[in-house]
Amino acid sequence: MQWASCVFLSLLPFCSAFPTEADEPCASTCGTDKGLVLGVYATEKEEKAVQLTKAGDAFDQVVSGKLKELLSISGPPLKKGKTRIFHALHQNFSSVVIVGLGKKGAGVNEQENWNEDKENIRAAIAAGCRQVQDLEFPYVEVDPCGDPQAAAEGAILGLYEYDEFKQKKKPAIEVQLHGSEGAEAWQKGLIYAEGQNLARILMEGPANHVTPTRFAAVIGEKLKSISSNVTVHIRDQAWIEAQEMRSFLSVAKGSEEPPVFLEIHYQGSSDTKEPPLVFVGKGITFDSGGISIKPSSNMDAMRADMGGAATISSAIVTAARLKVPINLIGLAPLCENLPSGKANKPGDVVRAKSGKTIQIDNTDAEGRLVLADALYYAHSFNPRAIVDAATLTGAMDIALGSAATGVFTNSKQLWDQLYEASIVTGDRVWRMPLYEHYTKQVTDAPLADLNNIGKYRSGGACTAAAFLKEFVTAPHWAHLDIAGVMENKDEVPYLRKGMAGRPTRTLVEFITRLSQDKKSV
């Protein structure tokens, strides 16, 4: 797969933003082929004065107050996330896009469980950059809006669109920070957003291109190119068989594509003996449902059923780029779930690596089968904590929709860290119940120790989590059901329609926080 993107990501030196008449002409990146995105805050009805950002005020002074004048006479005050374009205001910028940031200093919204300022900036900057892209300018400078990281995330996430196999592509555009203030935070935002875009690329890729083998190769190539502290093991079927991961293999055997067990080790801590944080990701590169076949409508979206593997792998790639001082291990059982003469049949019984037997009454409940062996294997690393991510159940989509990732955990400390991270990123999590009530529904199986579906239709996400819990003994474990956040239609304004790559940034922020707090978990 070619890793072309519609956005060039860099933090390049550029000309002084506002040269005086005596200054020399700008270099090639300045002038009529560049756009500028600036922010404006919402004002109360009684306030008549336009309230620009710091960068906006500086620009307005250079153009002798013309920007505020035009904003005052060109229509009503800009609403949050809306844009207005002005042309020929300054010799260095063909067009200036003004974006509405909403109320200044909104802070954390306790009802919404996110930092409203950051979310407003991401949405506004994404809208402004798309306007510049539509004008087909190759360069755009972005106002940091008081939060350079959020601005960078909005720009890079907002411009991304998967067009790998299209002849007609969106115009490439290079994103630059306007001014020099906050360059480090801006760079961090670029890396966070690029990490989520990597997950989006993997999830969006057609299943005949992103096979288990190719997925593992792409992540391996990425990691080896950015860090010497990374070891990547691409385990083949013989290794999986030797590990007696029969639950995983039972899903893989229905496909001609060979299974792969991807194992990533990132040694970020100076203490080589420090227990690692272990991530496990469901890696079904295409899910037909197997013998319990899914309806044909929208089945193409099941190319993204490896979203758990994509997000945890991309989070580790991002952590490695940021040189986060923590030890990480990523485990991704990768295979396809297809119907064939070799595929699992409803009523089959398999023995997992742990020794427990599983009655498979629904072959479309395959994610928990591959995760069971991976979770049990994760304990062999003496983990500080285990976190798994999986597009596991349609029931989670029904429960929460695309608003938040559902989290099932046996650890309050782990939950607190995930929750606080999600407030910062805006990619929210919500805690779900992990009651014994649900465990009883999967342990009451007529033929085996466990059944891979609950006794009743209700509480499907909860019974799936209860099933996974049967393969976990670690005191700090969290299961993230990301089925509801797999795709974006129009719910997240700074993401275009398609696979969302969520919650990669929340995982990266979570990793960063754990690296700074050695006592919480």
Within a 10 A sphere around the Cβ of 162, how many other Cβ atoms?
18
Closest by CA to 93, choosing from 40, 19, 24, is 19
Contact criterion met (CB below 8 Å) for 406 and 480 = yes
Cα–Cα distance, 309 to 202 (Å, whole number): 9
Q: Who's near 341: CB < 8 A, 6+ residues apart?
A: none
Longest dimension (CA), the chain: 86
Q: Whole-angstrom Cα distance, residue 358 to residue 351?
A: 6
Amino acid at 204: E
104 within 8 A of 49, measured Cβ to Cβ: no
142 in Cβ contact with 155 (< 8 Å): yes
Q: Could you tell me how far CA 354 lies from the centroid of its own chain?
A: 31
Q: Could you give the residue numbers annotated as active site?
A: 294, 368
Q: How far is CA 182 from CA 147, 149, 302, 457, 482, in A?
A: 8, 8, 40, 51, 33
Q: Which helix (H) or strand (E) holds 504?
A: helix 504-516
Give the integer Cα–Cα distance in Å for 478 and 422. 14
- The structure tokens listed for 13 are 């030196």
What angle is formed at CA 89 by the lines to CA 84 and CA 90, rounded to 5 degrees?
Answer: 130
DSSP H or E segment with residue 32: strand 31-41
DSSP per residue, 146-182: T-HHHHHHHHHHHH----TT-SS-PPPEEEEESSSTT
Residue 500 and residue 487 in contact, taking contact as beta carbons nearer than 8 Å = yes
Q: Strand, coil or helix: what is 351?
A: strand
Candidates 362, 352, 388; CA nearest to 454 is: 362
Strand-pairing partners, residue 51, are: 41
In this structure, the number of other CB atoms found within 10 A of the CB of residue 366 comes to 31
Give the integer Cα–Cα distance in Å for 303 and 51: 46
